[in-house]
Structure 1
Amino acid sequence: MVEDKTPGGWGVFAALLLLMNGTFTAIQGIVALAAPERLFAGEHTLVVLDYDRWGWVLLIWGVLLAVAGGALLAGATWARVFGVVVAFVNAVGQLTWIGTQPWLSLLLIALNIGVIWGLTAGWPEHRRHAAPTPPAPHTP
C-alpha cells in the first residue's frame, strides 16, 4: 500500500503561506539591493548598517521560506519540521520591524503562528504516523 504524503487542508494552507511569505521577503531583499532608498526604516527604530548585506539576508531567507513551502506541497517528510523552524524564526525576526511597521509585523507574526499551527496541531491524525492504522473491526 502506497502511503499518501501530500498535506491535507491545513498543510496546504501552511505551505502556501510559506511560499507567499518567502516571495515577499525575497522581494524586500531585491528592493534593498537595487534601491535601498525605498526600504522603509525609521530614523530611530531600526539600525541597518549595510543595505547590501541586509538585502542578501532577506533574499536568502525568502528563498528558504519558499523552499519550505514548496517541499511541503511536494510531500517531503522533512519539510514539516523545517517549516515549523523557519516560521518560528521568521515570527521572531519580525520583531525587528515592529517599531517601523507595527501592523505588518503583527500580521506576519500571526500568519507564522498559523503556519506553525497548521504544521503541528492542524495536521490530520492519519497523516501523523508513518504506518497506516488498520480500521477497527465492526461489531454487531
Structure 2
Amino acid sequence: MNATHTPPASSAKYAWAGGLRAFAAVMLSLAGLLGIFRGIMAIAEDEVFVTTPDYVFKFDLTGWGWIHLCLGIVALLVSFGLFQAAAWARYTGIGIAALVIIANFLSLPYYPWWSVIMIVMSGIVIWALCVAPADDADVSGRPTGGRQL
C-alpha cells in the first residue's frame, strides 16, 4: 500500500480560489485604508493636492475628501466580509472597486500619481473577485458556507 497521499486535483483548485479571494480582501482593505487617509487629507485641505482651475469635473477639495473617505470606509468594511467568504461581499467588492476607479479617474488632476495607483489597485481587486471560481473554498478544500457566485 502506498504511504504517500496525493490530494485530489479539486483541493488545489479550492486552495487557489481561497487564496485569490484573500488577495482581493487584502488589496481592497489597503485601498480602503488609503482612501480614508486621502479623504482626511483632502478634508483638512492639505497642501499635497494640486489645484486645477479648468477641470470639467471640478469639485471642492473638501467634497472630494468626503467622497474618498466614504468609499474608503465602505471598501474596508466589505474587505472584512471578503475575509469571511461572504457572497454579498464578493458582489459588493466588485461594485466598490468600480466606484473607487471612477472617483480616482475624476480626481486625476488633484493627485495624479496616486489616482493612477488606486485605479490599478482597484482593477486588480475586480480581476481577483471575478476570476475566482464560483465554488470558493478555504485552503483545506472544504466548501465555504453560504451561497457563492
Same fold (TM over 0.5): yes
The separation in 2 between residues aligned to 1:100 and 1:59, in whole angstroms, is 15
Please name the residue that 1:127 is paired with.
136
1:78 maps to amino acid:
W
The separation in 2 between residues aligned to 1:20 and 1:105, in whole angstroms, is 14
How many equivalent residue pairs?
A: 121
Instruction: Please report the TM-score for the alignment, with normalisation by the length of structure 2.
Output: 0.69
The separation in 2 between residues aligned to 1:30 and 1:104, in whole angstroms, is 15
User: Per-residue CA shift, 1:75-104, capped at 9, x if unaligned?
Assistant: 212000000001111112211122343332
Alignment root-mean-square deviation, CA:
2.4
1:109 Cα offset (Å): 1.4
Identity rate, percent = 28
- 8 Å contact from structure 1 (residues 8, 124) kept in 2: no
1:50 Cα offset (Å): 5.8
Unaligned segments of structure 2, at least 5 residues: 1-13, 138-142, 144-149
- 8 Å contact from structure 2 (residues 52, 109) kept in 1: no
The separation in 2 between residues aligned to 1:50 and 1:20, in whole angstroms, is 22
1:29 Cα offset (Å): 1.6
Instruction: Identify the range of structure 1 (92-101 vs 111-120) with the bigger mean alpha-carbon deviation.
Output: 92-101
Select the residue among 99, 108, 131 that pairs with 1:98.
108
User: Per-residue CA shift, 1:11-61, capped at 9, x if unaligned?
Assistant: 11111111011111111222223x31435032334733361x433332221
The separation in 1 between residues aligned to 2:52 and 2:87, in whole angstroms, is 44
Please name the residue that 1:64 is paired with.
74
Q: How does 1:103-118 map to 2 (within 5 A)?
A: 103-118=113-128
Please name the residue that 1:47 is paired with.
58
1:110 maps to amino acid:
V
Unaligned segments of structure 1, at least 5 residues: 133-140
Select the residue among 3, 6, 12 that pairs with 2:22.
12
The separation in 2 between residues aligned to 1:100 and 1:56, in whole angstroms, is 14
The separation in 2 between residues aligned to 1:75 and 1:116, in whole angstroms, is 15
Structure 1 stretches (4+) deviating beyond 6 angstroms? none
Do the aligned partners of residues 125 and 64 (structure 1) sit closer, same or farther apart at CA in structure 2, a change above 3 Å counting? closer
1:38 maps to amino acid:
E
